[in-house]
């Protein structure tokens, strides 16, 4: 039996008061700060360091900037998990547990 998939939390760029969070590139900055936390796959080479961590990725969902954070980050680096969750709390951002479904139109 395989382990259950880690939960995903969506940090939305909307405050608890319903205002759009600023600056407009907050999601890219937050995900960029956590880009070094990656699975130990051994994949390396030129360009392996470029891109976001699969545990913390920025997305725009229904026109709202979000960061999707995998609970797996907590096991890999608890301080990084605390950092991102405290960021959301300190900035009064809405956080919901959800899962990102594959795009049915993608090839």
38 neighbors 54 (Cβ within 8 angstroms): yes
Q: Looking at the domain 8-37+52-98, which fold is it?
A: Alpha-Beta Plaits (3.30.70)
User: What is the structure's pLDDT at 38?
Assistant: 79
In this predicted model, what pLDDT tens digit does every residue of 22-68 receive, in sequence order?
999 999 999 999 888 877 765 555 555 668 888 999 999 999 999 99
User: What is the structure's pLDDT at 90?
Assistant: 97
Share of the chain above pLDDT 90, in %: 62
In this predicted model, what pLDDT tens digit does every residue of 69-106 receive, in sequence order?
999 999 989 999 999 999 999 999 999 998 765 555 55
**Residue 8, SS3 per DSSP:** strand
User: What is the structure's pLDDT at 49?
Assistant: 60
How far, rounded to the nearest angstrom, does the alpha carbon of residue 1 sit from its chain's CA centroid?
27
Residue 77: both structure tokens together: 């680096």
């Amino acid at each position: 039996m395989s382990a259950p998939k880690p939960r995903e939390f969506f940090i939305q760029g909307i405050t608890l008061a319903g205002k759009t969070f600023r600056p407009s590139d907050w999601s890219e900055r937050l995900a960029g700060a956590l880009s070094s936390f990656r699975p130990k796959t051994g994949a390396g080479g030129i360009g392996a360091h470029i891109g976001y961590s699969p545990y913390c990725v920025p997305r725009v969902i229904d026109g709202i900037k979000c960061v999707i954070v995998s609970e797996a980050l907590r096991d890999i680096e608890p301080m990084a998990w605390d950092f991102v969750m405290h960021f959301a709390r300190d900035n009064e951002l809405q956080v919901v547990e959800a899962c990102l479904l594959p795009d049915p139109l993608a090839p």
